[in-house]
Structures are given as C-alpha cells and as structure tokens.
Amino acid sequence: MSAAPRVLVVDDSAFVRKVVREVLSGAGMDVVGHARDGLEALEKIEALAPDVVTLDLMMPELDGLAVLEALATQEAPPAVVVVTNAGAGSESGVRALQLGAIALVEKPTALASSRLYLLGEELAREVRLAAEARGTLAIPAEHPVALVPPPPPRGNPRVDVIVVGTSTGGPQALTKLLGALPADLEVPLVIALHIPPGYTEALAARLDRSSALQVCEARGGMRLEPGKAVIARAGMHARLERRDGGLVVALGFEPAEALHRPSVDVLFESAARTCGSRALGVVLTGMGSDGVEGARALWECGATVFTESEASCVVWGMPRAVWRAGLSHEQRPLEQLPAALLRHLRG
C-alpha cells in the first residue's frame, strides 16, 4: 500500500493503547482511533474503516474472539493483528488464528513501560505486513495469470503422501480443508505452516477435535500413516524420509538461512526426493513465495501440484507465485479442494 496504513487500536488498558499508538505513529502509521472493548471496536471499525486493527483478546463486554467472529461476516473486513498477553500456544491465540487473525504479537508478561515498548519493532512489522496482506485482497479478479494451462499430471497416479504449504490465513484454511477430508483417507498429510513458535501443538489439538483425521504436531522420526495429518513444529524444518520401508518425518534447523522455519520449499523438495511422482503438493493461502522451488522439484519429478485460487485466499501470494511460475496443475477455491484431492487419489 502506498499510503500509511490506517490503524485502529483496541485494548481495555489505557496504558497499552497509549504505547501501541506511540509505537505505530512513530513507525509512520496513521492511528485513526482506539477502542476500549469489543463493542466499541465494532462501532469504530464501521465508522472509521481502518486497514488494520490491533486487537486484544481479553476484554470486557465483548472479547477479541467475538470481534473476529463478527468481522468474519463482513464483506471487506480490516486485517487483524492480535496483541495478547495469553501465553504461547494458548487456546485463545490459536482460535484467533483460526478465525482469521493475520498475526499474533505477545505482550511481555510484565507490563512495565520499558518492557512493553520492546514490542515496538515486531508490532510495527506485523501491522505493516497485515496492511500489505489486505492490499493483495484487492487484486482484481480480471488479473488471472496469463499462462498457457499446464499439462495434465504425469507419472504414476498412485499417491504416497500429500504435502501442504501455507502461511497467512493458514490456520483458517487448514480448519476447512482437514475438516472436509474423511477418516479413511488413503494417505498421510504433512503440513508446513508459518506460525509463531509454541502454537502448533495447540493448533493441532484443535484441528484433531474438529476433523475426522488424526491431527498432531510433528515429532522427529514420527511414522506417517493413512488418515494422519502432521503439522511441522514452528521454528523447525520438516522433511520426509524413508525408514524401514515406511515414511517418517525428520525435524531440523538447517538450512538456517531459510526465510521461514518450517519452509514449504524444504518440505516439498524432500517429498520430491523421497516419493517422486507419488507425492501430491498443495499450496494454500499465504504471503510471499515460499513453495515455488519446492513445487518446481515436485513438477520436475512428475508429481502433481494443486494451488488455492484467489477467490478464497486470505492472501493470494504463495499460490499465485506457484501458479505464475507455471507449476500448478490445478487451481481451485478452498471449498473445492477436498473433492479435487479425493478425485485425484481415487480416480
């Protein structure tokens, strides 16, 4: 976005509102107002139409989760960055991500002035990224990629594993995707999601409860089984390996220079090496281009790649990058992807 992002600050603490306003104004953003609780926040959002809302979760009258639920019904809601003192991996933080929050920024445990101002750089970065993410939603539908449609999938139609990559909007997308897949799914899924460290275990537990699949956080050496979805632990790369005739997940920190850990490229490239044409890649909503090189590795070994279309993406960044590179065999909105995956597996 060319203009300064317009931000609404929502928190029941006057001190926190003051610090957040000063931090964001000092970073060149236009703080257009503040709200003390969820009810006032919804009124201010309607009146001021901010680009981004910084949202506390624990507030009187109407909490942050209820605000996110209300915004989910709006046609063009602002992007939301949650600013919370809930601990890492908290149920409320994970639920906020599932409801569409763009990012989570944790307040320090002690709200002394010097400690709270330490949030400044991280908060300003996340708010700016959220504003950019909201900007990508405005890409007109008449701008699909000008590519010759890719050839149909090649190689052996049998699939050994589905590998999924996602970032911004990923928890929400995974909730819908996994919730639509059957318990008797013939293959395992391994997921690389860009999410703050400490949240994958709680997210996996919530997805396990809402899905017919078995969903868990990855552990090093974990054996993959049909009907099981494994989410890479935030802060670590996940790779596929073959051991004793079966597929397992290996965790590690290398390559350390990767922009994201877990990296979608790292996961997809390992699937290409391990399973070849019998891997199936899926790239969902997310900012940036992580997954392009991994999709290229899958494409070159004859595997199939699906991408989420702009119509359903929170941010049409990662899927768009794969599609524009000519590495997607099929592009579909999220609600159609489960059926498309099952047709590919069973047809």
34 burial type by CB count under 10 A (0-12 exposed, 13-18 middle, 19+ buried): buried
Are the CB atoms for 111 and 13 separated by under 8 Å? yes
Cα four-point dihedral sign 21, 27, 29, 30: positive
Active-site entry in 51, 263, 290, 312: 290
CA distances from 284 to 169, 189, 196, 308, 335 (A): 9, 14, 18, 5, 12
Helices (H) then strands (E): counts for the chain = 12, 15
Q: Please, are residues 22 and 29 in contact by the beta-carbon 8 Å criterion?
A: no
Q: Catalytic annotation on 13?
A: no
Matching residue, tokens 């090093």: 220
* 290 a catalytic residue: yes
Catalytic residue among 51, 90, 160, 167: 167
CB 54 within 8 Å of CB 9: yes
Spell out the alpha helix ranges (H) of 64-117.
64-71, 91-98, 113-117
Catalytic residue among 194, 237, 260, 329: 194
Strand intervals (E) in the chain: 6-10, 30-35, 52-55, 79-84, 103-106, 161-166, 189-193, 214-217, 222-223, 228-231, 237-243, 246-252, 279-283, 304-308, 330-332
Residues labelled as active-site residues: 167, 194, 290
